């Protein structure tokens, strides 16, 4: 039973926004509501986010007993959510009965969330299958976890849930995913509001209140160690008031297209599906309010390098270092060749080592580089190359000198852009 559609009137710096919050997606009539709501909850996360981050329930056997691990597990980087879904088959006219059903269902779901988290934290590794059909080994002990309860129910006026989980309607789960279009951004939001219960059905209102508060908050000062290398500084909303990419889907969705390129490519030798998941999570950490600008810039680079002469190799790079997020380098080059791939890999390793010398506390953080190279065969518009490194690459003095002769010191030949919440 779905919650009703609502329309919010939101004051923004650009005028009044009428934001329609649609009802939850329709469930198939020939499937019991519980399993159907679980599939729809995972499906929304896979569609608006990325299927690689969304994991199906699994059974774990202990002796003669078995326990289900979550209705859905959502993982992006070091942050994960254990999601339980409860659906009301037939809503009565009695508010007392509906409040009782909500109390019991939420209480049961919260216990299941905690049981799933105990399972994931009690063992070094758990194999789960994601919505792309890939088995990934998850190391749950070192992760930050959020409990989430999704209810397929129209809600009861003024009902405030309790329990150790973020509780929201399926309508509002789908709203957050459609609004942010990023698994990383949605889990970051849920972590932010975790522990702060509000009336069931009011999640969109809370979202826009936080978005308005963020828009009034001045950007934090840049790290003084990086200031000399920052060629640009821009502010973007951490929580956009219009849906992410609104009015410029073509450029905004380029990051999603790159994520798909990486996700469907064969896993290189020496890498695991878990390593690929870390790469995808690093790129998905790109702030959603910046993605349209990034996509526009990336496509302009592709046009530029496609016109470069055969006697030279033109590169374009832009680097981004955010607090507590991976160092990302986006770029473009004229051709997808082994020499360019090797050169790019060495470039990423050099920039990673150089930035660690400035910020040694980031030793455990990934540096991920992505370059696009144009194609003219009509199969697809570009090839995607990704390189990543963690820890110290340990170039010797001769290697370091040769690389810096080719690529320069930190900040040379690359725009470093400070992107802060507005």
Q: Quote the distance between the C-alpha of residue 399 and its chain's center.
A: 35
pLDDT (tens digit per residue) in 318-367 = 888 888 889 999 999 999 999 999 999 999 999 999 999 999 999 999 99
pLDDT, position 417: 56
pLDDT at 129 > cutoff 60? yes
Q: Is residue 415 part of a domain?
A: no
Q: Using one digit for the tens of pLDDT, what is the confidence trace for 265-279? A: 999 888 999 999 999
Same-domain pairing of 174 and 252: no
Final residue in a domain of this structure, among 190, 208, 226: 208
pLDDT at 170: 97
Residues 282 and 372 in one domain: yes
The reply to whether 161 and 279 lie within a common domain is no
Residues 189 and 57 in one domain: yes
Q: Domain range holding 65?
A: 25-208
Q: What is the CATH number of the domain that holds 195?
A: 3.40.91
Band (pLDDT 50/70/90 cuts) for residue 422 is very low
163 and 264 inside one domain? no
Distance between CA atoms of residues 252 and 244, nearest Å: 8
pLDDT in tens, 60-81: 766 555 677 889 999 999 999 9
CA 210 to chain centre: 19
Question: Which DSSP string do the residues of 323-379 spell out, in sequence order?
Answer: TTS-EEEEEE-S---HHHHHHHHHHHHHHHHHHHHH-GGGTTSEEEEEEEEE--SSS
Residue 325 has a pLDDT of 87
Instruction: State yes or no: pLDDT of 201 exceeds 70.
Output: yes
How far apart CA 90 and CA 109 sit, in angstroms, is 19
**Sole residue written with tokens 């329609």:** 20
**Is residue 86 within 8 Å of residue 159, measured between CB atoms?**
no
pLDDT at 215: 81
Q: How many CA atoms lie within 13 A of 77 on its CB side?
A: 20
Is residue 179 a part of any domain in this protein?
yes
Q: How far is CA 192 from CA 166, 186, 195, 239, 243, in A?
A: 10, 10, 9, 12, 19
Is the domain of 88 the same as that of 171?
yes
240 within a domain of the structure (yes/no): no
Least confident of 76-80, 237-241, 290-294, 396-400: 237-241
Q: Which two tokens stand for residue 90?
A: 């037939």
Residues 188 and 276 in one domain: no
Question: Are residues 126 and 204 both part of a single domain?
Answer: yes
pLDDT tens string 204-261: 999 999 998 888 877 777 778 877 777 666 667 789 988 999 889 999 999 999 999 9
> Rounded mean pLDDT of 75-102?
95
Task: Tell me which of 180, 208, 236 is where a domain ends.
Answer: 208
Find the mean pLDDT for residues 189-206. Answer: 95
Residue 368 half-sphere exposure toward CB, CA atoms < 13 A: 25
State the average pLDDT for the chain: 90
Q: What angle do CA 308, 314, 319 make, to 5 degrees?
A: 140
For residues 92 and 153, is the Cβ–Cβ distance under 8 A? no
Q: What is the mean pLDDT of residues 276-290?
A: 95
Domain boundary among 208, 234, 262: 208
User: Are residues 300 and 171 located together in one domain of the fold?
Assistant: no
Residue 208, classified by CB atoms within 10 Å of its CB into exposed (0-12), middle (13-18) or buried (19+), is buried
* pLDDT the model gives residue 385: 95
Q: Cβ-count burial of 28 within 10 angstroms (0-12 exposed, 13-18 middle, 19+ buried)?
A: exposed
pTM assigned to the model = 0.92
Establish if 230 belongs to a structural domain.
no
Per the structure, the count of domains in the chain is 2
Is the pLDDT reported for residue 304 higher than 80? yes
| Domain co-membership, 201 together with 294 | no
Query: Would you say residue 310 has pLDDT above 90?
Result: no
Is position 416 within any domain?
A: no
Place 308 in a pLDDT band, splitting at 50, 70 and 90. Answer: confident
Determine contact, residues 394/352, Cβ cutoff 8 Å.
no
Pair 124, 189 in one domain:
yes
Whether residue 417 lies inside any domain: the answer is no
If asked whether residues 313 and 187 sit together in one domain, one would say no
Q: How far apart are CA 158 and CA 143, in angstroms?
A: 34
């Amino acid at each position: 039973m779905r919650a009703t559609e609502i329309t919010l009137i939101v004051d923004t710096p650009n005028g009044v926004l009428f934001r329609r919050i649609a009802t939850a997606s329709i469930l198939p009539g020939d499937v019991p509501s519980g399993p159907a709501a679980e599939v729809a909850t995972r499906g929304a996360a896979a569609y608006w986010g990325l299927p690689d981050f969304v994991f199906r329930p699994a059974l774990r056997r202990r002796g003669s007993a078995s326990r289900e691990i979550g209705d859905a597990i959502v993982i992006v980087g070091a942050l994960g959510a254990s999601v339980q879904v409860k659906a009301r088959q037939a809503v009565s006219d009695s508010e007392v009965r509906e409040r009782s059903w909500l109390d019991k269902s939420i209480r049961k779901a919260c216990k299941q969330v905690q049981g799933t988290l105990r399972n994931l934290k009690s063992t070094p590794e758990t194999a789960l299958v994601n919505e792309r059909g890939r088995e990934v080994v998850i190391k749950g002990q070192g992760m930050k976890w959020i409990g989430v309860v999704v209810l397929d129910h129209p809600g009861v006026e003024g009902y405030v849930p309790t329990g150790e989980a973020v509780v929201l309607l399926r309508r509002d789960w789908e709203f957050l995913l459609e609004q942010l279009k990023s698994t990383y951004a949605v889990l970051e939001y849920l972590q932010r509001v975790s522990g702060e219960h509000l009336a069931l059905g009011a999640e969109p209102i809370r979202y826009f209140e936080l978005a308005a508060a963020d828009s009034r908050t001045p950007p934090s000062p840049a790290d003084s160690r990086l200031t000399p290398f920052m060629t640009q500084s821009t502010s973007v909303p951490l929580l956009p008031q219009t849906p992410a990419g609104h009015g410029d889907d073509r450029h905004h969705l380029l990051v999603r297209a790159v994520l798909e390129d990486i996700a469907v490519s064969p896993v290189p030798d020496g890498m695991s599906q878990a390593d690929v998941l870390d790469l995808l999570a690093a790129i998905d950490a790109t702030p959603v309010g910046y993605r349209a600008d990034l996509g526009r810039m990336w496509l302009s680079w592709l046009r530029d390098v496609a016109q470069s002469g055969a006697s030279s190799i033109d590169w374009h790079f832009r680097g981004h270092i955010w607090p507590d997020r991976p160092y990302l380098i986006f770029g473009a080059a004229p051709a997808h060749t082994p020499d360019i791939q090797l050169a790019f890999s060495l470039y990423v390793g050099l920039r990673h080592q150089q930035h660690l010398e400035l910020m040694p506390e980031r030793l455990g953080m990934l540096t991920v580089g992505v370059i696009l190279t144009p194609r003219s065969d009509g199969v697809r518009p570009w090839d995607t190359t990704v390189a990543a490194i963690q820890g110290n690459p340990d170039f010797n003095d001769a290697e370091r000198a040769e690389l810096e002769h080719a690529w320069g010191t930190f900040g040379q030949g690359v725009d470093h852009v400070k992107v802060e919440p507005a």
